[in-house]
Amino acid sequence: MLMNMGLLVDSFWRAAVYCLRPRVIMLSLAPLLLIGVLGGAWGYFYWDGAVRGMRSLLESSSLLTTFWGWLQTWGVGDVTAVVAPLMVILAVTPVLVVFSLLAVALLMTPALVALVAQRRFPHLERKKGGSFWASAVWSLGSSFLAVLALVVSVPLWLVPPLVLVLPPLIWGWLTYRVMAFDALAEHASKEERREILQRHRTRLLGIGILTGYLGAAPSLVWASGVIFAAAFFILVPLAIWIYTLVFAFSSLWFAHYCLAALERLRSEGSALSASVVPVGDPAAVAIAASSDFTPAAFTSENKMP
């Protein structure tokens, strides 16, 4: 128990230190770069048409037209010329963010697991117990079960304490299922993966829950960007970067813990194999069963003439 807790703490601080590596920081900035590229490409081809369409939509509403006219009487000017671009940005940004985060998440976990394996476990044999498609099916199945659990548990959210417990517990379960599988996919066999997930289930679930609570921090920054519209273009990218950094930390924590657990599992298996008497050698079995067996007696009795 204490050994496993030591493994938990050791993997935590190693993951935190790895987050300071330039490679990890660059990976955490990748969504912002990808959003910039995608946003620039989309704006080049579709910006003018999208703004015109949004402006005509805003002017087609009689209620909004009355409101715009009332603002113009106060000397505000052409409000739709300012509001339409902002509405387009607000509509397109979430799509770009989700797409970028999914793309980076798909590429980030294998890269971080490879980084941990290269620096800490270069000797660890790669048994490739989980393919890309197996990981995809596992992730989709786990996500379906998590969403189903969320839907079923919604009535319980009306109980004040449970609303703070059930969603993080469900998302923590999903996080540990997906990230632990990805961390072990390259190096562990199917049997080893099942053994590790069963043996370390509680601690892996704890890692998932803790990282789930950490993942709530970017939501607060995102909400601040929506509330304080003037700081939208600063707070929202900051929230995206924090979310990606939390994702990187989670992947690193699972990678350090799971690969160390795999190394320990294999060392236990090697020690057990070394202590077993080879049953295929009748002479060795007879000698081991003899009560007066000593290495010296064995040497003298079996010396070649």
Count the neighbouring beta carbons within 10 Å of the beta carbon of residue 199. Answer: 14
Could you write out the DSSP letters of every residue in 197-266?
A: HHHTHHHHHHHHHHHHHHTTHHHHHHHHHHHSGGGHHHHHHHHHHHHHHHHHHHHHHHHHHHHHHHHHHH
Q: Is the pLDDT of residue 277 over 70?
A: no
Nearest to 21 by CA among 116, 124, 117: 116
Predicted confidence (pLDDT) per residue in 74-124, tens digit: 766 666 677 777 777 777 766 766 666 566 667 788 889 999 999 999 999
Phi, psi values for residue 125, rounded to 5°:
-70, 140
Nearest to 149 by CA among 181, 176, 171, 128: 171
- List the domain boundaries for the chain: 2-40+93-269
**Average pLDDT over every residue of 276-302:** 44
pLDDT at position 300 is: 36
Q: Is the pLDDT of residue 36 over 90?
A: no
User: pTM of this prediction?
Assistant: 0.70
Predicted confidence (pLDDT) per residue in 207-266, tens digit: 988 887 786 666 555 555 555 555 666 776 777 788 788 888 989 999 999 999 999 999
pLDDT at position 87 is: 77
User: For a pLDDT cut of 90, what percent of the chain falls above it?
Assistant: 20
The rounded distance, in Å, linking the Cα atoms of 139 and 143 is: 6
Handedness of CA 251, 257, 263, 266 (dihedral sign): negative
pLDDT at position 286 is: 47
Q: Is the pLDDT of residue 186 over 50?
A: yes
Count of alpha carbons within 13 angstroms of residue 117, beta-carbon side: 22
Cα 101 → chain centroid: 11
Predicted confidence (pLDDT) per residue in 58-78, tens digit: 777 777 667 767 766 776 666
pLDDT: is 124 or 283 the higher one?
A: 124
pLDDT: is 296 or 113 the higher one?
A: 113
